């Protein structure tokens, strides 16, 4: 039975606590948060000890920690956890600075601990199915990857201002998905974007509508589009064209009901946002982490995957700002 | 080059003239109609001779005739055409009376002429594809056939009063389709129905909403539902469940466009009615007739198929009126 | 916090225990089963007391019981539970005999306790959505209901022999669904069926392929088809045609992935069977029960719904055996 | 009755002859081709006069000409036709050189004749429906356009070598579609591409797999992907994301049939190639031309649209060769 300590008891912390409760082989042993109230509530619900972050990390009865705190705290928590020899499940992004992630990689390698970068979408049953079928050769060599990702509505402006920008905050998931599906590393990044949803987002220096083109050494192509707005729900689709055929994963709708009237045939909107859409993914992600730690294996995606996605997000940001194609070879 | 004489220049006559124009190997040589105006127009468009029905039937330069006149004229025209040795393409139903159809069968057999009963739906590319795949064994032995057929709106009450009733006028297509797909003859018929669309239809002794269950000797089942109303267009679907799987043909929509909004994902309505929906079927049906006559083969469905569908329609009418299960073994 | 006692710790008992664990406001307080091993295991997992059935029913700390034992034990357990004043959640069918269900109704009414007949499909988010939209008038007055229900494969022959037959064992769910959707009671029942999947099922006196037609006083029609076999997964679809349009709920597939090759566009099979397909329904059903008991309300479907479905299943069985249309007015 | 002269009696010439035959208000009056045999056959089929190209253009009885000859002949034929005052329907591309197209524009403007550049896809009922609904504001301001276009297989290498390259030969359709849907002119073009289908295509200096990103002054984005290979048929899809929702047009499949087996649910492949897929588009395109000429209106897309698409194709070619983003403001 793996004893897990949860750092961060906000929305995503609760999601992970719920996943752990549904899985065998692990339990939430301790929780910590900068704010006392949510931590106290989660402790009550899970029966876990309420602790301070550092005490939790150093507690000998805790086997692994889940870092779901604000991004700027990750660096110190990772270093503390590696010093303490704990396995780490870390929310993305590992850090806003690629250099600081490289520091973390050194610490993780020295400590020899399992580290999972929580790109939850890799564990979505639909996307995971697509990836495993590509790997099994069902569509031959990958030629073109198309990723569509749109949030139902923009986050608060304050959030956006401290988010690192759309490419680092939102598209980073799609950049990781591109790496997951392309089968080789991108070597060039070209990004365009504009503030078409909310001019204030533009005034803050960010965009809310964007597209990226990646190429790989063999000439494979990935096109990604992002928008901070989609009236029809959380739009999360991937499509891969290969030498022998095409694989695609459509949106998950709220239900399977269709109404037919003089207006035509209408199905339900897409599931509203990530908590519904990726519920199964969060559970599978945690199951993978628990399984790896229990068996002493390295999870995937690991901390290097966290670095590579960050490098692509930095390149996309730079490309959008300069209008240039950026080499990431 | 087959010379075809068209008897009946109304809506369906024009459809057949158009099909012939698009096909190689045949031409409209002569046209006739009880009303002069539509006949004159169709003659002008096709370059055909304008004749009286009997003169047309007896004209030595005419190889085959298409009967698209009112049902109560079919009997005499068929007898005249068989006497004249012409191949016959006859709109359904052959006649409202099964006994009179039996008379026609005798005449057709004696004359040894090709005779096609125009159950156009057998030639729909979707339904024909389903039938040929059943025949090829793709879903194993047929177990359950489900047919849904709904008109976009009821015909005029006057039409209904002289139509022979829903089972003989509308469901006869589905009863023929059932025979086409079941792979053996129905032995029992049970029908229910009501006037849910228009009470005046009920007062005239007919129904506008109906369902039929057929069984075969081996225990195969067919369920058919009909309605004289469908807000979303002409509803024409079949589904066959077999030992190894299921085959179904969905509606043809007006286009492939889908809009996504907060209401969900909306596709176009179904194609409005039979002229659009079965355009390709009408052409394939005429091509089959021309091909059979040219090669001296018997078309399918033939006049016996016309009789069998009529017997099932009579049985369904009787079942609905009496509440009893009718044996047609 | 509602204390629930679970009678029956087999497959369905575990499903209910899992649902309760995921819901707030209730806990599994006690478990009982004729076999000690599964009961002991479920007690360990839930932290519940292990008891004998009658002790559990009489235990003052238990507020409500869930009956998930074999059908022939329901009658006695219901009487014991009503005598003890416990709210009852009872698996379908309440009993194989309509008369004995009437006895149970008397007991439940005298005791004035909440009683839920566990027709889980009413709580499926897709079917519940359809029913609520019919009730809201989205498609006008209901005219035709079509229900397709197919299991992936037949149960063991021993199970079938003691099951009461397909209509009582399997189609009873669809008969309840018909009542749920038709908006008025069926007045006539016509059933056909055959053993097309396995001749041994036929030799045992049962069928594995069946169809039923129901009519209501106003002339509404329901057609149901059942099969004990479906290569493509658990086939669970409903479709309702009304005056203003059509509502349908499609199957839930294993995932949203589609592959395109020279063979065409292929989506995943349907979710395999009821445990996957109705997972959300089981949870919603239990939530409804807990909510009703906590608020002192009568759940729906109640024990009278259990009786009416059984009467329809009996009528269908009788119709299939006699070839007659059965009146249930 | 408009008298049309057909220049070019190859595959596309026959398509246009067939369209004209199905439309009222026009007829094929004369045909010409560098090769005598196909011209003689088309003359026989249509009853048109067989002429030399220049005689046809100068024939006083010809009102309008359709240019379906090889691209390098367009320039001279356009100049001859404008000199003769004939309305022109010209296959794309108008010419491989933007400068030469500018010459043609001058000639067309001086002559004041109607000129249609035959971007047939604008007339596809699905794409035309999407465009008219964007224009009607159904999805608000356009934000992102995604176009997928894949041929079933590559053309012969000889064809490719003289085609001007993928961007000018194949993607030019998509670049025109982008202009049709974006609602404002592209200002930047970025293209990537590789020879993933056939290395010989790469050795000839061309690509067979490509992607383009366009941006407009307001920041709207268009992403296009092209491949010379698609096992599942001719892949022709568009999707437009706007402020209020999303519109997309899916592929047209060979039929509506679906089979369900243990492998899942399989629909037919996409219609094989452009002759099937754009049959309705070719007819609507010709109807538009006939209507415009008859009413003395300028068709759309006109010769300037032909130039603008060519400029984008040139820019894409240049971008792919240099790896740079190209401004076309």
Please check whether residues C160 and C272 belong to one and the same domain.
yes
Radius of gyration of chain A from its Cα atoms, rounded to whole angstroms: 20
Which residues, other chains included, contact A230 with Cβ-Cβ below 8 Å and sequence gap of 6+? A150, A151, A152, A270, B260, D241, D246
Q: Is residue C10 part of a domain?
A: yes
pLDDT of residue B21: 87
Q: How far apart are CA D99 and CA B5, in angstroms?
A: 58
> What are the helix (H) ranges across chain D?
11-22, 36-46, 53-58, 71-84, 98-111, 125-135, 157-161, 166-169, 171-182, 199-203, 274-277, 279-295, 303-322
pLDDT of residue B304: 97
Q: How far apart are CA D135 and CA A229, in angstroms?
A: 20
Please check whether residues C27 and C157 belong to one and the same domain.
no
Q: What is the pLDDT of residues A126-158, one digit of tens each?
A: 999 999 999 999 999 999 999 999 999 999 999
pLDDT of residue B292: 98
**C-alpha distance from A135 to closest chain D C-alpha (Å):** 18
| Token pair of D266 as six digits | 């399989």
Residues of B within 8 A of C193 (CB-CB) are: 219, 221
**Mean pLDDT confidence for D259-281:** 97
Q: Residues D172, D175, D177, CA angle at the centre, nearest 5°? A: 110
Per-residue pLDDT for C207 more than 90? yes
Residue B74 φ then ψ, to 5°: -60, -45
CA-wise closest residue to B209 among C245, C186, C221, C225: C221
pLDDT of residue A305: 98
Q: To the nearest whole number, what is the mean pLDDT of chain D?
A: 96
Task: List average pLDDT for each run of 10 residues in chain B, which is 329 residues long.
Answer: 95 94 91 94 90 96 97 96 97 95 97 97 98 98 98 97 95 98 97 98 97 98 98 98 98 98 98 95 98 96 98 98 95
Which member of A231, A261, A267 has the closest CB to residue B231?
A261
**Strand A257-261, strand A264-267: pairing:** antiparallel
Cα–Cα distance list, B230 to B195, B249, C246 (Å): 14, 18, 8
Is residue B214 within 8 Å of residue B178, measured between CB atoms? Answer: yes
All chains having 3 or more CB pairs closer than 8 angstroms to chain B: A, C, D
Characterise B312 by phi-psi region: left (phi > 0), alpha (psi -120 to 50), beta (else): alpha
Residues of C within 8 A of B190 (CB-CB) are: 190, 192, 213, 325
Question: DSSP letters along C125-165, please?
Answer: HHHHHHHHHHHTTTT-SEEEEEEEEE-SSPPPHHHHHTTT-
- Which CATH number fits the domain that encloses residue C97? 3.40.50.720
Please check whether residues A155 and A176 belong to one and the same domain.
yes
Which member of D232, D264, D268 has the closest CB to residue C269?
D264
Which member of A253, A263, A270 has the closest CB to residue B266?
A263
The conformation of residue D153, written as its DSSP 8-state character, comes to: S
Could you list the residue range(s) of the whole structural domain that residue C180 is in?
122-280+309-327
Any bridge partners for residue D249, and if so which? B257, D238
Residues of A within 8 A of C261 (CB-CB) are: 139, 244-246
pLDDT of residue D22: 85
- Residue D232 to residue C265, Cβ atoms within 8 A: yes
The conformation of residue B24, written as its DSSP 8-state character, comes to: T
Cα–Cα distance list, A45 to A7, A68, C63, C117, D57 (Å): 16, 18, 23, 32, 86
Please check whether residues D107 and D129 belong to one and the same domain.
no
**C-alpha distance from C124 to closest chain A C-alpha (Å):** 10
- Which CATH number fits the domain that encloses residue A150? 3.30.360.10
Which member of C253, C265, C269 has the closest CB to residue D267?
C265
Q: What is the pLDDT of residues D6-62, one digit of tens each?
A: 999 999 999 999 999 889 889 999 999 999 999 999 998 888 999 999 999 999 999
**C-alpha distance from C227 to closest chain A C-alpha (Å):** 22
Is residue D214 within 8 Å of residue D188, measured between CB atoms? Answer: yes
Is residue A257 within 8 Å of residue C249, measured between CB atoms? Answer: yes
Which residues, other chains included, contact B234 with Cβ-Cβ below 8 Å and sequence gap of 6+? B150, B151, B152, B251, B270, B271, B272, B273, B274, B276, B277
**Mean pLDDT confidence for C186-210:** 98
pLDDT of residue A88: 98
Q: What is the pLDDT of residues A218-249, one digit of tens each?
A: 999 999 999 999 999 999 999 999 999 999 99
Q: Is residue A272 part of a domain?
A: yes
**Mean pLDDT confidence for C78-88:** 97
**Interface contacts (B, C; CB < 8 Å):** 117
Cα–Cα distance list, D302 to A100, D308, D312 (Å): 57, 10, 16
E strand map for chain A: 2-7, 26-32, 49-50, 64-67, 87-91, 115-118, 142-150, 186-194, 209-216, 221-227, 235-242, 246-249, 257-261, 264-267, 326-327
| Token pair of C292 as six digits | 């009703």
The conformation of residue A289, written as its DSSP 8-state character, comes to: H
**Mean pLDDT confidence for A188-200:** 98
Q: How far apart are CA C210 and CA C174, in angstroms?
A: 12
Stretch (H or E) spanning D235:
strand D235-242
Count of alpha carbons within 13 angstroms of residue D303, beta-carbon side:
27
Question: Domain total for chain B?
Answer: 2
Any bridge partners for residue B237, and if so which? B148
Please check whether residues A107 and A177 belong to one and the same domain.
no
Please check whether residues A73 and A165 belong to one and the same domain.
no
- Residue B221 to residue C197, Cβ atoms within 8 A: no
| Token pair of C212 as six digits | 């039923």
**C-alpha distance from D12 to closest chain A C-alpha (Å):** 29
pLDDT of residue B151: 98
**Mean pLDDT confidence for D281-297:** 97
| Token pair of C78 as six digits | 């219901």
Q: How far apart are CA B162 and CA D237, in angstroms?
A: 48
Cα–Cα distance list, D59 to A292, B17, D80 (Å): 82, 34, 12
Q: How far apart are CA C46 and CA C25, in angstroms?
A: 15
Residues of D within 8 A of A235 (CB-CB) are: 246
Q: Is residue A108 part of a domain?
A: yes
pLDDT of residue C284: 98
Which candidate in B138, B255, B270 is best for mutational testing of the D interface (most D CBs within 10 A)?
B255
Please check whether residues C256 and C322 belong to one and the same domain.
yes
Coil, helix or strand for A115?
strand
Residues of B within 8 A of A231 (CB-CB) are: 260-262
Which candidate in B186, B227, B269, B322 is best for mutational testing of the C interface (most C CBs within 10 A)?
B227
**C-alpha distance from D129 to closest chain C C-alpha (Å):** 23
pLDDT band at C270 (very low <50, low <70, confident <90, very high): very high
Q: What is the pLDDT of residues A57-113, one digit of tens each?
A: 999 999 999 999 999 999 999 999 999 999 999 999 999 999 999 999 999 999 999
Domain stop point among D113, D148, D182: D113
- Residue C249 to residue A255, Cβ atoms within 8 A: yes
E strand map for A121-280: 142-150, 186-194, 209-216, 221-227, 235-242, 246-249, 257-261, 264-267
Please check whether residues B168 and B76 belong to one and the same domain.
no
**Strand C2-7, strand C26-32: pairing:** parallel
Per-residue pLDDT for C329 more than 80? no
Is residue C139 within 8 Å of residue C246, measured between CB atoms? Answer: yes
Q: Is residue D28 part of a domain?
A: yes
Q: What is the pLDDT of residues A264-306, one digit of tens each?
A: 999 999 999 999 999 999 999 999 999 999 999 999 999 999 9
pLDDT band at C247 (very low <50, low <70, confident <90, very high): very high
Which residue's structure tokens are 């069968």?
A: B105
Q: How far apart are CA D252 and CA D157, in angstroms?
A: 28
Any bridge partners for residue C4, and if so which? C28, C64
Coil, helix or strand for A7?
strand
Query: Number of helices and strands (H, E) in chain C?
Result: 13, 15
Which chain B residue has its CA at the smallest distance from C190's CA? B190
**C-alpha distance from A146 to closest chain D C-alpha (Å):** 9
| Token pair of D160 as six digits | 């490719």
- Residue D133 to residue B257, Cβ atoms within 8 A: yes
Which residues, other chains included, contact D220 with Cβ-Cβ below 8 Å and sequence gap of 6+? A194, A196, D142, D143, D144, D145, D182, D183, D184
Q: Is residue D142 part of a domain?
A: yes
Exposed / middle / buried, residue C115 (Cβ in 10 Å: 0-12, 13-18, 19+): buried
| End-to-end CA separation in angstroms for chain B | 43
pLDDT of residue A1: 87
Domain stop point among A113, A142, A170: A113
Which chain D residue has its CA at the smallest distance from B255's CA? D126
**Strand C246-249, strand D326-327: pairing:** unpaired
Length of chain D: 329
E strand map for B182-256: 186-194, 209-216, 221-227, 235-242, 246-249
Q: Is residue C134 part of a domain?
A: yes
Residue B261 φ then ψ, to 5°: -140, -170
- Residue C269 to residue D267, Cβ atoms within 8 A: no
Q: How many C-beta atoms surround the C-beta of residue D195 within 10 A?
A: 21
Q: Is residue C147 part of a domain?
A: yes
Q: How far apart are CA B5 and CA B29, in angstroms?
A: 6
- Cα dihedral value A46, A52, A54, A56, nearest 10: -20
Stretch (H or E) spanning C67:
strand C64-67
C198 close contact with B: CB closer than 8 A: no
Per-residue pLDDT for D271 more than 90? yes
Please check whether residues D24 and D138 belong to one and the same domain.
no
**Mean pLDDT confidence for D311-323:** 98
Q: Is residue D153 part of a domain?
A: yes
Please check whether residues A17 and A67 belong to one and the same domain.
yes
Which chain B residue has its CA at the smallest distance from C235's CA? B246
pLDDT band at C21 (very low <50, low <70, confident <90, very high): confident
Domain stop point among D88, D113, D138: D113
CA-wise closest residue to A234 among A166, A148, A309: A148
D217 close contact with A: CB closer than 8 A: no
Please check whether residues A64 and A141 belong to one and the same domain.
no
A130 close contact with C: CB closer than 8 A: yes
Please check whether residues C104 and C140 belong to one and the same domain.
no
**Interface contacts (A, D; CB < 8 Å):** 117
Any bridge partners for residue A261, and if so which? A264
Which residue's structure tokens are 């204390």?
A: C3
All chains having 3 or more CB pairs closer than 8 angstroms to chain A: B, C, D
- Cα dihedral value B212, B215, B216, B221, nearest 10: 90
B211 close contact with C: CB closer than 8 A: yes
Per-residue pLDDT for A214 more than 80? yes
Q: How far apart are CA C122 and CA C63, in angstroms?
A: 24
């Amino acid at each position: 039975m793996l004893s897990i300590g949860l750092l961060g008891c906000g929305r995503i912390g609760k999601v992970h606590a719920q996943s752990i409760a549904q899985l065998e082989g692990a339990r939430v042993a301790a929780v910590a948060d900068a704010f006392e109230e949510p931590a106290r509530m989660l402790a009550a619900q899970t029966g876990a000890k309420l602790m301070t972050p550092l005490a939790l990390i150093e507690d000998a009865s805790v086997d692994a920690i889940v870092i779901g705190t604000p991004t700027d705290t990750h660096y110190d928590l990772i270093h503390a956890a590696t010093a303490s020899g704990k396995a780490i499940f870390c929310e993305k992004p590992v850090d806003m600075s690629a250099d600081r992630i490289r520091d973390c990689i050194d610490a993780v390698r020295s400590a020899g601990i399992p580290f999972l970068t929580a790109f939850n979408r890799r564990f979505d049953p639909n996307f995971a199915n697509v990836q495993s079928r590509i790997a099994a050769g069902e569509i031959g060599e990958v030629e073109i990857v198309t990723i569509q990702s749109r949030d139902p509505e923009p986050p608060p402006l304050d959030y956006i201002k401290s988010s690192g920008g759309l490419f680092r905050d939102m598209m980073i998931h799609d950049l990781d998905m591109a790496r997951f599906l392309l089968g080789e590393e991108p070597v060039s990044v070209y990004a365009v974007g504009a503030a078409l949803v909310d001019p204030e987002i533009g005034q803050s220096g960010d965009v809310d509508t964007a597209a990226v083109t990646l190429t790989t050494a063999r000439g494979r192509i990935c096109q990604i589009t992002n928008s901070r707005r989609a009236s029809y729900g959380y739009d999360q689709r991937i499509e891969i064209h290969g030498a022998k055929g095409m694989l695609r994963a459509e949106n998950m709708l709220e239900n399977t009901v269709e109404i037919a009237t003089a207006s035509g045939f209408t199905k339900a909107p897409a599931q509203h946002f990530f908590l519904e859409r990726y519920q199964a993914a969060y559970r599978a992600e945690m199951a993978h982490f628990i399984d790896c730690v229990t068996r002493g294996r390295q999870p995937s995606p690991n901390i290097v995957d966290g670095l590579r996605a960050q490098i692509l997000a930095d390149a996309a940001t730079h490309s959008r700002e300069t209008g240039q194609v950026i080499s990431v070879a």
